Amino acid sequence: MSKRVLLLGLPPIVLLAIAAALAYVSVEWDEAAADRTAAERLTLYRQTILGEYNKFRYLPYMIARDTRATNVLGLGQTDASANRFLEEMADNAGASLLYVMDRSGTTLAASNWADELSLVGRNYAFRPYFQSAIAGDEGRFFAIGATLGEPGLFLARPTPVSGEPLGVAVVKVDMRGLERAWAEGGETVFATDRNGIIFLSSVADWRYKSLAPVPGPVRAAIDETRQYATQPLTPLTNTADPAAEVLTIDGRAFRHTVADVGLLDWQLHFLVPVEAARQTVWPIWAGAIGLSLLYIVALLMLRGRALRRASAVLLQESAGLRELNRRLTDEVEERKRVEAELIKAQEGLARSNRLAAVGQMSAAVAHELNQPLAALRMFVAGTRKFLQKQDLGAARDNLDEIESLQERMAALTQELKRFARPSESRIERIDLRDSLKAVEKIARPRFDETGVSLSMDLPDEALTLETARLRVEQILLNLLRNGAEAAGQAHEQSGGGTVHVSARQDGAAVRISVSDNGVGVPEELRERIFDPFFTTKLSSGGLGLGLSISGRIADDLGGSLEVSSNPQGGATFLLRLPGGTGQRPPAGVSGVREPEPAE
């Protein structure tokens, strides 16, 4: 079980367990209290019954001794003065009936002589009270009146009070006042006779019912005395034990307390509804359940608050994240902007670099040109002197020198022009094998000069490119020349200088490698050889522009030019050119340009 469920469930469970224990104890207490109250009430009601009995018990005795009443026995018939006497006595004593019977059980005088249903002349010899009294005892009997149908306690005495009885004096006590008092007190009380028949009850419906089923012989005996007239005496409960602690009547359970009245085997019964006897149970349960619910609600509310707080923190955090995200987006935007500015600046820098290069180159060119110019001046002056001396041979030699100087100067200016103004950039579909063959032709004299051998490995199928043919050829020529020169140096020392060219289709692109077995490029110079005016051939008239121009053209055509060292010595230049159209137009050039005049 998780800690949270335990925290939520355990206190209510403990609370309910305590409530159960309390409820049990309280039921015990309540029932004990109810039983005590019942016993007290029963004692009181018993007193009132006995009080009523005691109030009237001597009245028949008085009547039995009074000749004003008993004279009828001598007369053997009713008598007006006796009737009036009884009437007056009944009124004064509060008895419901007073009457005198002869020894055969026939009423000779009665207090209700004047009523329509007068007892006078009627015979009640079947009543047990008469039979007891005529036998010389005190007669006591509760019954429903045989004539008037009203219930009452019949008390009888023989008359004369001593000696052979000649008749019987009877008082009938109406006890319904007691019932009314019980009912008005809101209590459930009833009295049963020795047979368990309810004859007085605060609940009218229960009257003349039996607490337990009445056995047949008992029923027959009752009928003989006409005690309860024609009442069916149906059982009120099915209980086998009329003294049971709990009685169920009409589906309702009652706590049942019984007390003997001490008169005629009567019993008084006090009933309290079971739920009323357990009334403190409900507040205990309600309190416990209420407290449990309160606890759970409070706990859930606290939890809800904690959750709300947590979600507020989450909200705050997500707001923080959003803010962070926004800042990042801003930064990305800013970075893009700066990048664009940088590219712009770079382009500007490239332009100014080129300008600076032009400036640098101008200085180099000026320097380069000054030497041959000075030499030219010398040779021209010398030639003049040789011509004056008619030394034509020496003059011719000088002219040769002049011519070579001129050639060098022309080459220099040509390079300068190329650098400042790229050659034709018209894009056309070419077969690179043709270009390589054309370049080979141009470079051939240089190879012959150096004694370096040139081999080419070209595929059988066309190497088609859409590119600026003249510019590609310019690169290739540069690479072949450099190769020839590098291998030439080695050749001078040990011979066997070679340059090998191979070209291959590589996807849509074409890769051309120019490999020699010359001096190679030291690691530390790899980057620098592509710088303008970097040369190791100053002495032999190198300008240091070839690779820088070639690199730039390759770049402009969307390709690349790289150098690497051969394992067996020498350098390999790898030129990669994209095959299709779509390469970016050469820098500083837009669209198609007219071809420059041939060199």
Q: Contact residues for ligand ADP (CB under 6 A)?
A: 478, 482-483, 486, 516, 518-521, 529, 534-537, 542-548, 571
Task: Give how far Cα 139 sits from Cα of 63, 69, 130, 131, 492, Å.
Answer: 14, 18, 6, 8, 174
Secondary structure of 338-373 as H, E, C letters: HHHHHHHHHHHHHHHHHHHHHHHHHHHHHHHHHHHH
In the structure encoding, which two tokens stand for residue 21, read together?
């224990």
Q: d(Cα 262, Cα 50) in Å, to the nearest integer? A: 8
Least distance (Å) from ligand ADP to the CB of residue 460?
28
Query: Nearest CA to 72 among 141, 159, 149, 132?
Result: 159
Least distance (Å) from ligand ADP to the CB of residue 446?
12
Residues linked to residue 465 through DSSP beta bridges, in sequence order: 430
By the 8 A CB rule, do 498 and 452 touch?
A: yes
Nearer to ligand ADP, 86 or 545 (CB): 545
The radius of gyration of the chain's CA atoms, rounded to the nearest angstrom, is: 74
Nearer to ligand ADP, 165 or 488 (CB): 488
- Helical (H) or strand (E) element with 51: helix 3-56
Least distance (Å) from ligand ADP to the CB of residue 413?
15
Nearer to ligand ADP, 87 or 485 (CB): 485
Nearer to ligand ADP, 446 or 593 (CB): 446
**What does the buried/exposed string (b/e) look like for 216-250 if buried means 16 or more CB atoms within 10 Å of the residue's CB?**
eeebeebeeeebbeeeebeebbebeebeeeebebe
Least distance (Å) from ligand ADP to the CB of residue 507?
27
Least distance (Å) from ligand ADP to the CB of residue 516?
5
By the 8 A CB rule, do 179 and 188 touch?
A: no
Nearer to ligand ADP, 239 or 536 (CB): 536
Least distance (Å) from ligand ADP to the CB of residue 364?
11
Nearer to ligand ADP, 316 or 404 (CB): 404
CA end-to-end span of the chain, whole Å?
A: 97
Owner of token pair 């060119």: 365
Q: d(Cα 180, Cα 525) in Å, to the nearest integer? A: 135
Task: Give how far Cα 417 sits from Cα of 358, 410, 422, 597, Å.
Answer: 10, 10, 8, 12
Measure the CA dihedral 483/486/492/495, to 10°: -50
Nearer to ligand ADP, 71 or 535 (CB): 535
Least distance (Å) from ligand ADP to the CB of residue 416?
13
By the 8 A CB rule, do 513 and 501 touch?
A: yes
Of how many residues is the chain composed? 599
Nearer to ligand ADP, 118 or 517 (CB): 517
Nearer to ligand ADP, 115 or 531 (CB): 531
Nearer to ligand ADP, 259 or 529 (CB): 529
Task: Give how far Cα 434 sits from Cα of 226, 429, 440, 480, 581, Å.
Answer: 153, 11, 10, 15, 19
Least distance (Å) from ligand ADP to the CB of residue 470?
18
Residues linked to residue 63 through DSSP beta bridges, in sequence order: none
Least distance (Å) from ligand ADP to the CB of residue 549?
8
Least distance (Å) from ligand ADP to the CB of residue 424?
21
Nearer to ligand ADP, 193 or 485 (CB): 485
Least distance (Å) from ligand ADP to the CB of residue 346?
23
Least distance (Å) from ligand ADP to the CB of residue 557?
18
Query: Nearest CA to 197 among 184, 208, 182, 186?
Result: 208
Residue 32: phi and psi, rounded to 5, are -65, -40
